[in-house]
Structure formats: structure tokens, C-alpha cells
Amino acid sequence: MAVEAAAVILAAGQGTRMRSSMAKVLHPVGGLPMVARVVANVKKAGLDSIYLVVGHQGDKVQAALPDIPCVVQEQQLGTGHAVDQCREVLAGFKGPVLVTYGDTPLFRPETLAGVVEYHNQQQAAATVITAHMEDPAGYGRIKRDAAGRVLGIVEQKDATAAEQLIQEINTGTYCFDGPLLFQYLQRITPDNAQAEYYLPDVLPLLIADGYSAAGFAVEDARESMGINDRVQLAEAEAILQERLRRHWMLQGVTMIDPTQVWLDDDCSIGQDTVLYPGVHVQAGTVIGRGCTIGPNVRLQGTAIGDGVTVEQAVLTEARVGSETTIGPFAYLRPGAVIGDRCRIGDFVEVKNSTVGDDTSAAHHIYLGDAHVGHGVNVGCGTITANYDGRVKSRTTIEDGAFIGSNSCLVAPVTIGSGAFVAAGSTITEDVPPEGLGIARGRQVNKESWTKRRSQGDPK
Ligand code: UD1
Ligand code: CA
């Protein structure tokens, strides 16, 4: 069996054109820093031994990927020099080495696995992923002989007018024979227009010594897209979103206007769910079947059951049972756990609270640090006063209780099962099961008061 491949990801460059205080490779695409996406793609391709070459803001890149060993390239002397930084960590490694960049996050795992497989099949010393570009400006061009054999790569800045017409480009991702790579990296020189150690320069040296180089053409050139500025960042995001939308539509999800649905790849959406415009399904979200989501909903790390309706709402790290309706204009914060067949209506905020099945909290309500049983009616304007300025306290509303409108439940407090709270009450003591809690000033009516006021006696 062939030795498993190792991977080297180059991410030492500054990325000046991003005009950012954050390292380029940490800018997210599809909700994941682009270098983390490259790592994920490489892992999905089946490679586990991964090294990152870092330089600018290397500590921050390492912090974003604590499990991936980083090798520091102090000075950016070229792609060949960058790979050479892994000489020690890969010393003694006999297998193939995949080299790719931290700023090309669109390579499919299948393509990365494909180049390694092709490289092994061809028994090549080096295999480069190539792409056909209508406008190849800026890229290294692939030079082949009359028989189509790869001879080498010439950089734009070193290319003759004739070479500049070549439309087959170097994507910058390769598979090399590990020992030969490090042996030949010792022989490249910065004798070129950019005075850099070019990684592709090992190809002609290998070929001159009788080794073979291969080209592995990628069908969709967009896979190899590198991100250098924020325009390309947005283009890459669009390509990724198109892929994700397509995937979920083919799984049975309806999108009224796919261009207005944003998806992270770490999410899942059930069959027959309909997504309206303005829906953002973020990492860690799981949506069940037959749901109606949107317009204008953001879901992050949230689990939603089947047959749920969510409209104009933000849900972060929340859980919602089946057949429940959320919104319009609801805010479910971390720790909100809502049961089945509930109604969480307009201007309702729920934080760190459980709400039992068949409970209604229909309008203008704050539930914080509360346990609400099933079959409860929480009236309009109800508030759990959970914070006294020092500590947070819990409110318990037991099964079947009825909370009248505009009640303030001052925690810690318990409303017993089947109990009533009269509208407008400020409840500071427990209400027993089946009891009525009423806590408000009595109304006084003053007869003919306006008339007396106009006569100068407002009492
Ligand atoms: C490189 C290739 C070119 C190819 C193109 C594809 C070389 C000499 N040229 O050109 O043939 O068409 O990629 O995008 O390799 N990096 C480091 N350390 C360095 C230099 C670069 O980590 O010392 C990293 C950069 O952060 C970047 C990547 O390597 O992610 C590519 O470097 P860059 O200078 O952009 O290479 P190109 O000129 O685009
Ligand atoms: Ca580049």
C-alpha cells in the first residue's frame, strides 16, 4: 500500500491587498477562516499529517488552528523557500507531499484527493494541478513539450511574449515525491525577476535528472481561485454559497430566492423545508423537515424540529421542538429550549430558559433564567425580573399556569401549577398551585374630578 500523503499549506504571506489588520488567511469564507477551510478540505481528502507554514501574524493563525502544527517562515523569500521550512518536520517522511495555499479555499476535497491518486498512478516525481484560464494574466504558465509532457512552469514576470499566450496555468497546488522535493529544493536559486525561491523551479531540475512531472487538470478553474483582496473574497463566498445552496436544494429544500439564502457548511436542513429570502443558516444549525423559515431569520448553533415556522427572528444556540411557531420578531438566546406546539410570538425574548410543550408566549415578553411548564399561557407584557444588579435568579412557572398581562415576576419566585396571576401584578412571593396571585394597587375613582380641577380644586 502506498504511504499516506502529508500536506504543507503555505500561509506566510501578508496579504497586503486585503487592507486589513487581520491576517488574510483568517478572513472567513462560508463562516470559516479561509485557512481553516483549506485544512478542512485537506482533511476531507483523507490527509491527516498537515503542516502550516506561517509568517505574518503567525501566532494568530496558530491560535485559530491549535491542532495543526505551524512552522514559521521568518522572511518570505518565495514559495520554494516556504516549503523548505518543513524540511525538518518531514525529515524521514517517505510518502507524497501535497502542497497548497492557505488562500485557495475552494479546492474540493475530491480534487485534492484526486491529484494525490493521479500522482501515485503516474509514478511522477511532481504533479501539478493545472487549470485553463481565458485570462491567465498573473499566473505561472505550464510549459509542455510536443508530446504534451510537462516541462516546467514559467512565471508571468519571467515569461516571453509567446509564453504569455499559454492559457494552462499553475494553480499553485501540487503533489510531490517527499524525499525528492526536499532534495531538489536545495538546488533552486532566486535567479529570476522577483529574486525569489520559486517552488515550481524544482520541476525542470527533476526532469533533467530523468524524473517525470505530470499535470492534473481541474475542470472548473474556479476551484483554484486565490483570494488576494476583498473583491475576490466576495467572489469566493458567492461560489461557495452557490455550491451549498445547490447541495441543499438537491436534498429537497426549497429556496424561494437562492441568492438571498446564506449557508455555512456545518449545517443541515430537512426535506420539504422552505427558506424565504434573508435567511442565514450558520454553523452548527440543524433544521428539521417541513419547516418554513424566513423571511429574515438568522440561526446560529440552533436545533429546530419538524414543521416549525420561524419568521423575522434571531436564534442563537437555542433548541425548538416540532410544530412550534417563532416570531415574527422573536429573539431566542443561548439556552432557550422551547417545546413542541408552542407559540413564541412577536417581541418575545427568551434566554437560558426552558418552555414546555403547548405553551404560549405570544407578545412582548421577556423570559430569562426561567423554567416554564407545559400548557402555560404567558400574557402580553410579562417579564421575569431575573437580575437584582448582583445575581441572576430563577423563575418557575409550573404546568397549566396562567400569567395575566403586564405581570412582573420578581425572581426567585414560583407560580404553582394551574395558578393564576392577575394582570398587572408584581409578584414577589410564590403563588400556590391553583391559587390566584394579585399584587397591585387598588383603583380609586374620583367623581367629577376634571370639573373640580377646572374650578381650581384638583383634589
Ligand atoms: C504562485 C506560483 C504561480 C501560480 C500561482 C497560483 C510560484 C513562484 N508561483 O504565484 O506559478 O500560478 O501561485 O496562485 O510559486 N507564500 C509563503 N511564503 C513565501 C511566499 C509565498 O507562505 O515566501 C504563500 C503566500 O502566502 C501565498 C502563496 O504562498 O498564499 C502564493 O504566494 P504568491 O506570492 O501569491 O505566489 P504567486 O505570485 O501568486
Ligand atoms: Ca497569489
Residues with CB under 5 A from ligand 2 (ion): 226
The whole-angstrom separation of Cα 298 and Cα 224 is 30
Q: Whose CA is nearest to atom 8 of ligand 1?
A: 198
- φ, ψ at 198 (rounded to 5°): -85, 125
- φ, ψ at 392 (rounded to 5°): -95, 135
Cα-to-centroid distance, 79 and ligand 1 (Å): 5
What's residue 1's pLDDT? Answer: 47
CB of 12 shorter than 6 A to ligand 1:
yes
**Grid coordinates belonging to 115:** 491529484
CB of 437 shorter than 6 A to ligand 1:
no
CB of 11 shorter than 6 A to ligand 1:
yes
The whole-angstrom separation of Cα 409 and Cα 418 is 16
Residues with pLDDT less than 50, the chain? 1
Strand ranges in 323-434 using DSSP code E only, listed in sequence order: 325-326, 330-332, 337-338, 343-351, 354-355, 360-368, 370-372, 377-378, 383-385, 395-397, 402-403, 408-410, 413-415, 420-421, 426-427
Task: Determine the topology of domain 3-224 in CATH.
Answer: Spore Coat Polysaccharide Biosynthesis Protein SpsA; Chain A (3.90.550)
Any idea what the Cα angle at residue 62 is, between residues 57 and 63, rounded to 5°? Answer: 100
pLDDT 10s digits, 256-277: 999 999 999 889 999 999 999 9
**Cβ(395)–Cβ(371) under 8 Å?**
yes
Cα-to-centroid distance, 252 and ligand 1 (Å): 40
Class of domain 253-437: mainly beta
**Cβ(276)–Cβ(293) under 8 Å?**
yes
Q: Probe ligand 1: pick from 79, 153, 171, 201, max atoms within 8 Å of CB?
A: 79
> Residue 4 carries which side chain, given as an amino acid letter?
E
Residue 371: exposure state from Cβ atoms within 10 A (0-12, 13-18, ≥19): middle
Catalytic (active site) residue 280: no
Q: Probe ligand 1: pick from 27, 39, 51, 101, max atoms within 8 Å of CB?
A: 101
Around Cβ 207, how many Cβ atoms within 10 Å? 18
Q: Which residue ranges does the chain devote to CATH 2.160.10.10?
A: 253-437
- Ligand number nearest CA of 15 is 1
The whole-angstrom separation of Cα 350 and Cα 233 is 35
What's residue 2's pLDDT? Answer: 60
**Grid coordinates belonging to 289:** 423537515
What's residue 361's pLDDT? Answer: 98
> 102: closest CA among 126, 134, 118, 79?
79
Cα-to-centroid distance, 163 and ligand 1 (Å): 19
Active-site annotation holder among 363, 364, 371, 374: 363
